[in-house]
Structure 1
Amino acid sequence: MADTITHIVLFKYRADITWSDFEKHFESFMALKTTSLNPKTGKPLIKSLKAGKNRSWEPFNKGFTHGFVLEFENQDDLDYYLTKEPVHIAFSKSAGPLIEDSCVIDIKDGVLFGPPAKRPLGEGEYQGSCHCGGINWTAKLSTAEHVLCHCSTCQKLGGGPYSCNQIIPKDDLKIVSGTPNVYTYTGASGKSVRCYFCGTCTSHIYHHQDVMPDKIIVRTLLLDGGPQMPATGEIFGEGRLSWVRELQDTLK
Structure 2
Amino acid sequence: MMHINGSCHCGEITFEAEIDENKVILCHCLDCQKLSGTAFRSVVISEPNGLTFTKGKTKEYIKIAESGNKRAQGFCQNCGSAIYATSEEPTNRVYGIRAGCIEQRNLLIPKSQIWHNSAVPWLNEVSNIPAFETIPTK
**With structure 2 as the length reference, what TM-score do the two structures score?**
0.83
Secondary structure at the residue paired with 1:173? strand
| Separation (CA, whole Å) in 2 of partners of 1:229 and 1:175 | 20
Superposed displacement of residue 188, structure 1: 2.3
| Separation (CA, whole Å) in 1 of partners of 2:78 and 2:93 | 28
Alignment-derived partner of residue 251 in structure 1? 130
The structure that is helix-richer by fraction is 1
Gaps of 5+ in 1: 1-122
| Separation (CA, whole Å) in 1 of partners of 2:127 and 2:72 | 33
Contact 1:191 1:210 (C-alpha < 8 Å) held by counterparts:
no
Secondary structure at the residue paired with 1:141? strand
Question: Across the two proteins, how many residue pairs are aligned to each other?
Answer: 129
Identity %, equivalent residues? 26
Superposed displacement of residue 161, structure 1: 0.4
The amino acid that maps onto 2:73 is C
Structure with larger Rg: 1
Aligned match of 2:72 in 188, 194, 198? 194
Aligned match of 1:150 in 16, 23, 28? 28
Aligned match of 1:222 in 101, 108, 112? 101
Contact 1:150 1:162 (C-alpha < 8 Å) held by counterparts:
yes
Aligned match of 1:173 in 39, 48, 51? 51
Secondary structure at the residue paired with 2:33? helix
Gaps of 5+ in 2: 132-138
Secondary structure at the residue paired with 1:155? helix
| Separation (CA, whole Å) in 1 of partners of 2:24 and 2:86 | 18
Aligned CA distance change for structure 1 residues 208 and 180 (closer, same or farther; 3 Å): same
| Separation (CA, whole Å) in 1 of partners of 2:84 and 2:111 | 19
The structure that is strand-richer by fraction is 2
Superposed displacement of residue 208, structure 1: 1.1
Superposed displacement of residue 144, structure 1: 6.4
The amino acid that maps onto 1:137 is F
Instruction: Please give the per-residue CA displacement for 1:81-102, whole angstroms capped at 9, x wherever unaligned.
Output: xxxxxxxxxxxxxxxxxxxxxx
Pairwise CA RMSD: 2.0
Superposed displacement of residue 171, structure 1: 1.3
Superposed displacement of residue 248, structure 1: 1.6
Superposed displacement of residue 145, structure 1: 6.4
| Separation (CA, whole Å) in 2 of partners of 1:133 and 1:124 | 22
**With structure 1 as the length reference, what TM-score do the two structures score?**
0.47
Secondary structure at the residue paired with 1:172? strand
Contact 1:207 1:216 (C-alpha < 8 Å) held by counterparts:
yes
